[in-house]
Amino acid sequence: MIRDLFYIAYRNIRHRGRRSWLTVIGVFIGIAAVVSLVSLGQGLQTSVEQEFEQIGSDKLFINSAGSATSTSAERLDNDDLRTVRRSQSVGTADGVIFATTTSKYNDRQEFVTVLGTPTGESQDLIKESWALEIEEGREIQSTDTSSIVIGSQVAERLFGEEISLRNSLTVNGKKFRVVGIYKSTGDPSIDQAVVMPYQTSADLVDRDGETYDWVFAQIQEGFESDEAKKEVEKNLRNERGVDEGEESFSVSTQEDLVSSFNSILSIVRGVVIGIASISLLVGAVNIMNTMYTSVTQRTSEIGVMKAIGATRKQIMTLFIFEAGIIGMIGGILGVTVGATLSTIASYAATQAIEIQINPYLGPELLIGATAFSFIVGILSGVLPARRAAKMPPAEALRYE
């Protein structure tokens, strides 16, 4: 029975030729979009979670609300840093400058991130928090007033040519010598950064040397991250004299940062899947129209089948199955193209911005998308199939 249904459906789809292929386009586009987005999104989510696992869950990240455009009055200052350090749940803590400015190499000018970091005991904390690891050269030292360590993208492609150790780079009008190059972190803002001692960066971007864009804190052993977060928030509110809900600062754990990223990713994923669903709906309507046309064109065939004993259920099953096959063809094509696109996009992301994304192409995604397209086809074929099944045999046989 199933073999006969496949054969008849294949024969009729092949007979309609171009119309059948045009019918599957809507399903094909929708499934391709869903597969590529879900696979890339899942791969990116896994990659980000792995990066944060390397950083560790024993750190707090404190910044002033809207620090990218904050005034000096809004930024974290030495009083805030001392308050964080005095917290019982905190071991080591230190602040950094995180600013954007222009940089010039030869005749080309680009924007870079200036990272002003401590060079003492807290240097390891900052390196771990940003996953910084030297690939060539050395780390910055407190005496490096005219030396910098650069991110991987600055070294490899930002200026259209490679920058090596001992090359000079002009940052915000001041010339620096490159003494080290970091490995790629997968974070564009860090990979496009120039790292220098805190005081050097403060002088470079006109800071007073007593404010910070971020403060990183190492949680003491024996304290949970949420427990440490609540203590630091409470201490900072008391130090600033503000009530809960009126804070101009933010304290985040590793879990908070991952959750925020996943929330943004879910919104983007939902929007794109919504657009893809519209394409699937258009595809479903096209399948329905094609099947209605097929019923009209095959009226005589329906009459013959009924005359030789075909039941309503058999005729309805035939047309529903045929619609399902059309949907499944679109699904198979969509899965193939979607998987290919996600692989290409992953490679392009790795080459362009050094973000390693391994697209998720598990069997539940690929088989599920194909099965869903088959179901879309079946549902689209129900009404045309009912019309074919209810057609009176005598009327069908008279139709030419």
Tens digit of pLDDT for each residue in 313-332?
888 888 898 889 889 999 99
pLDDT, tens digit, 9 for 90 and up, residues 235-245: 999 999 999 88
For residue 90, give the H/E element and its range.
Answer: strand 90-105
State how far the Cα of 288 lies from the Cα of 254, in Å rounded to an integer.
Answer: 50
Q: Which of 291, 286, 315, 289 is nearest to 303 (CA)?
A: 315
Mean pLDDT value across residues 261-279? 84
Whether the pLDDT of residue 133 is over 80: the answer is: yes
pLDDT band at 353; cut points 50, 70, 90: low
* Between 56 and 142, the higher pLDDT residue: 142
pLDDT band at 355; cut points 50, 70, 90: low
Whether the pLDDT of residue 160 is over 90: the answer is: no
Which pLDDT value is given to residue 67? 46
Whether the pLDDT of residue 391 is over 90: the answer is: no
Is the full-model pTM beyond 0.75?
no
Which pLDDT value is given to residue 203? 93
Q: Which two structure tokens, joined as six digits, stand for 154?
A: 């600055």
Nearest 10 degrees: Cα torsion 331, 278, 47, 361: -10
pLDDT band at 68; cut points 50, 70, 90: very low
Burial 86-97 (b: 16+ CB within 10 A, else e): ebebbebbbbbb
State how far the Cα of 359 lies from the Cα of 366, in Å rounded to an integer.
Answer: 12
pLDDT, tens digit, 9 for 90 and up, residues 106-117: 989 999 999 999
Which pLDDT value is given to residue 12? 72
When mean pLDDT is compared over 132-146, 247-261, 315-329, the highest value belongs to 132-146
CB 75 within 8 A of CB 206: no
**Conformational region of residue 137, where left means phi above 0, alpha means psi within -120 to 50, and beta covers everything else:** left
